[in-house]
Amino acid sequence: MSRRRHDRWLLIRLAAQNVGRRRLRAIFLGLAVMLGVGIGFASFVAGWALRDGMARSFSRMGADLLVVPRATLVNITASLLTVQPTDETLPADLAQRIAAIAGVAQVAPQRIVPALVEGHNVNLIAFDPAQDFSVQSWVEARQAGPLEGLIAGAALSARLGETLSVCGMPMRVSARLGKTGVGPFDESYFLSFAALADIVSFCRTSDARAAAKPAPAKIDDAPAIDGMRHGDANVCSGDLQLDRASAFLLQLSPGAKMEDVKFGLAQLADAKIVEGNGVLTSSRQALSTLLIGMAAFTAFQLIALLILVSLLFSAIVQERYREVGLLRAMGAQPNQVMTIILAEAAVITALGGLAGLGFGAAVLLTFARSLGFYFALLGVPFSWPPAAVLQIGAVLAIVFSAVLGLVGAFLPAWRVRRMAPYALIQAEGR
Amino acid 109: pLDDT? 92
- pLDDT (tens digit, 9 = 90+) per residue, 185-223? 788 999 999 999 999 999 888 766 565 555 444 434 434
Question: pLDDT tens, position by position, for the chain (430 residues)?
Answer: 555 565 566 566 666 666 666 677 778 878 888 888 888 888 888 777 777 766 666 556 667 788 888 877 666 554 444 566 667 889 999 999 999 999 898 899 999 898 999 888 898 999 999 988 888 888 888 887 777 889 999 889 888 989 999 998 999 999 999 887 777 778 899 999 999 999 999 988 876 656 555 544 443 443 433 433 333 455 787 788 889 998 898 888 877 788 888 888 888 888 888 876 554 555 555 566 666 777 777 778 778 877 877 787 777 777 777 877 887 787 778 787 778 778 878 888 888 888 888 888 888 888 777 766 666 665 556 677 778 888 888 888 888 888 877 887 888 888 887 788 777 777 654 4
Rounded-to-integer distance, Cα 69 and Cα 89, Å: 6
Q: Are 66 and 104 in contact (CB under 8 A)?
A: no
How many Cβ atoms sit within 10 Å of the Cβ of residue 10?
A: 12
What pLDDT is stored for residue 33 in this prediction?
83
- Span 320-376, pLDDT tens digits: 778 778 877 877 787 877 787 788 788 888 888 888 888 888 888 887 777 666 666
Which pLDDT value is given to residue 82?
Answer: 58
Dist. CA 83–CA 37, nearest whole Å: 48
- Neighbouring C-alpha atoms within 13 Å toward the C-beta of 134: 28
Confidence (pLDDT) at 374: 65
The CA distance from 235 to 230, in Å, is: 7
**SS3 labels along 281-332:** HHHHHHHHHHHHHHHHHHHHHHHHHHHHHHHHHHHHHHHCHHHHHHHHHCCC
Q: What are the angstrom distances between the C-alpha of 148 and each of 59, 171, 206, 405?
A: 21, 9, 23, 52
pLDDT of residue 56: 62
Looking at residue 62, its pLDDT comes to: 65
User: Among residues 39, 127, 92, 103, which one has the least CA distance to residue 367?
Assistant: 39
Q: What is the pLDDT of residue 220?
A: 40
